[in-house]
Structure 1
């Protein structure tokens, strides 16, 4: 049960782009690199967080963001459709709880770096990188049914925008102010199959840049015709 609760909280946390939110939330639940006394309350834990300089905002701001922003989002999530939890998810959460370490990105930094680096080095998608994408976990804006949300990007049609790790997603939201109602987590293979099954031709944009015309070397676009071919091979 603890693992399930932790995973659900982590899903809600992914909706917030403020960089200090993870530190605030996990300190409040006493799951972090510097845990407080187990008998302390949320207020005392947030006071300790601020007092030790582990977050760049005031105690008042921390409490407001936890009680007025995060907890209402948790309550709202309880009535929404929840993504299925796998054994892999539970193992991941169990490692967090055993070590009492603050949860970070779903994948290891090394795994995220490998895929991000491979994308930056590409001029055209090639087999090994596409396989990494299909087998990997990505995040992006989702509907209430946990289906990727499509965005219309000019004359290029509709696209699913997904990110290879939570840091990239958070930076995008911070820079653009994107107010997505829900963040989903899927394998790249699931995203491809969903895109291929839509009525409208849909591409997939991996790690979109928040700056128009800049940073595109780290972005991998998969055109609708590529999506159709990949879906047939999945």
Structure 2
């Protein structure tokens, strides 16, 4: 048997505002963020594939969208944040901390829906970094990322952000009346310092690039 951990449960996140160079994460507030989020997630310029692998959406009516936001804002697991572009104050996406298990030090980043203005920019990368940093600051041992195994875009993002692929849970869920095989990824607390350094180095470099520069670099490439 391995040595005892002398483990103490992780703290529970409180949805405090998180400040970055490019974005600010605020607790989802439908009254304050709803108009922006409707425009970027469901408006004319929205990504048509945004909802393909999410268990909800797309929304054709504003009322249904607002009810969805309100339900998300009322919960604590998932704990939803709006992503605010610091350059203009616009809410441009959402994401959450979820599957929060403080007794075992486990937490996940999920329910990611970024508007087109965030995709392939440093803003999306920094939003993930800020939640990862918070997750480990709370004392968690493990940060998780899960997605439909058919969702190539999400899998590429997980790998670029330094998550390790752990395998596939076959026939894990039924989503929108379709089978979902779930790909599992993680970063552990002993891996986080190197991963965090990769994020910080990449974001520092991105800060020197022209506004709107396309993301082309790996945050953390292991080898």
Shorter-chain TM band: 0.3 to 0.5
> What is the TM-score of this pair, normalised by structure 2?
0.34
- When Rg is computed on C-alpha atoms for both structures, the one with the higher figure is 1
Higher fraction of helix? 1
> What is the TM-score of this pair, normalised by structure 1?
0.33
